[in-house]
Amino acid sequence: MNLKKIDLLQKRAQFRTLIREFFSTQGFCEVVTPLLVSNPGLEPNILYFETEFAPLMGRGRKQKLYLPTSPEYHLKKVLSWGAPKIFEMTRAFRNGEWGKEHFPEFEMLEWYRQPGSYEEIAKDVEELLKKIWDAFQKNQANLSELGEIKHYQVKDLFLKYAQINLDHPIESDEFHRIFVEKIDPFLEKENLVFLWNFPASLRALSKLDEKDPRYCKRFEVYWRGIELGNAFDELIDVQELRKVCESDRQKRLEKYAKSPDLDEAFIEAHQHLAKNMGGIAMGIDRLFQWAVGADNLSEVLLFESIQN
User: Is 85:112 a contact under the CB 8 Å cutoff?
Assistant: yes
Q: CA end-to-end span of the chain, whole Å?
A: 22
pLDDT for position 278: 98
- Report the C-alpha gap between 254 and 251 in whole angstroms: 5
Question: Each residue of 166-177: pLDDT tens digit?
Answer: 999 999 999 999
- Which CATH number characterizes residue 269's domain? 3.30.930.10
Domain containing 268: what range? Answer: 5-52+65-300
Question: Each residue of 143-165: pLDDT tens digit?
Answer: 456 778 999 999 999 999 999 99
Quickly state the pLDDT bin for 142 (edges 50, 70, 90). very low
Distances (CA, A) of 250 to 242, 257, 304: 12, 9, 33
Domain count, the chain: 1
- Report the C-alpha gap between 155 and 216 in whole angstroms: 12
Tell me, yes or no, whether 60 lies in a domain.
Answer: no
Find, among 174, 236, 226, 224, the residue nearest to 199 by Cα. Answer: 174
Cβ neighbours around 269 below 10 Å, total: 20
Tell me, yes or no, whether 211 lies in a domain.
Answer: yes
Q: What is the pTM of this model?
A: 0.94
Tell me, yes or no, whether 306 lies in a domain.
Answer: no
Tell me, yes or no, whether 166 lies in a domain.
Answer: yes
Tell me, yes or no, whether 305 lies in a domain.
Answer: no
